[in-house]
Amino acid sequence: MKYIISMIVLLLASISSLSAQSKNTTVEAEKAFAKKFPTAVANKWVKENKHEYEVEFTLNDKKGSANFSGSGEWLETELEIPINSLPEIVKNGFTSNFPQASITHVYSIERKGNPDYFEIEYKVKNKIAEVKIDSNGKPIK
């Protein structure tokens, strides 16, 4: 009887462990997201790697994503912004580097411990591409 109970406990522990390993987020990351973006709606959580989780969300009818560590530390936010909200210096930097391109989407990127930048999706000759541009209007390589 002890053997059967031990096997049941072992089986339940294994199932619990597998369930935790396949989870796409942690409670800490979810709490940190709710605190940083209290009015946002989380649409989908994805496990980026062993220590990082990304949430795709909607905030004020705009798409965004944010990355958190498993312990709930904020790492990065990518938020769609209106094209006309792009700072003039960034817009001018883009236009001078890509004169034949038309902007399709703009994202503001904030990263913990790093300078903010913009990710610009653009169309040129029926091809879609993207470029990262810093707040001074210079492309980031």
**pLDDT tens figures, 2-39:** 555 544 534 444 443 333 334 788 999 999 999 999 99
The pTM (predicted TM-score) of the whole model is 0.74
Q: What is the mean pLDDT of residues 62-74?
A: 94
Taken in order of first residue, the domains within the chain and their CATH numbers are 24-134 (3.10.450.360)
Residue 123, pLDDT > 80, answer yes
DSSP, residue by residue, 23-91: -S--HHHHHHHHHH-TT-EEEEEEEEETTEEEEEEEETTEEEEEEEETT--EEEEEEEE-GGGS-HHHH
Contact 93, 67 (CB under 8 A): no
Phi, psi of 124 (to 5 degrees): -145, 125
Residue 132, pLDDT > 90, answer yes
Contact 117, 141 (CB under 8 A): no
pLDDT at 84 (0 to 100): 94
At 134 the three-state DSSP class reads strand
Give me the amino acid identity at 24: N
Contact 133, 93 (CB under 8 A): yes
Calpha distance 108→118 (Å, rounded): 5
Residue 62, pLDDT > 90, answer no
Calpha distance 75→28 (Å, rounded): 13
% pLDDT > 90, the chain:
74
Lowest mean per-residue pLDDT among 14-23, 70-79, 130-139: 14-23
**pLDDT tens figures, 79-110:** 999 999 999 999 999 999 999 999 999 999 99
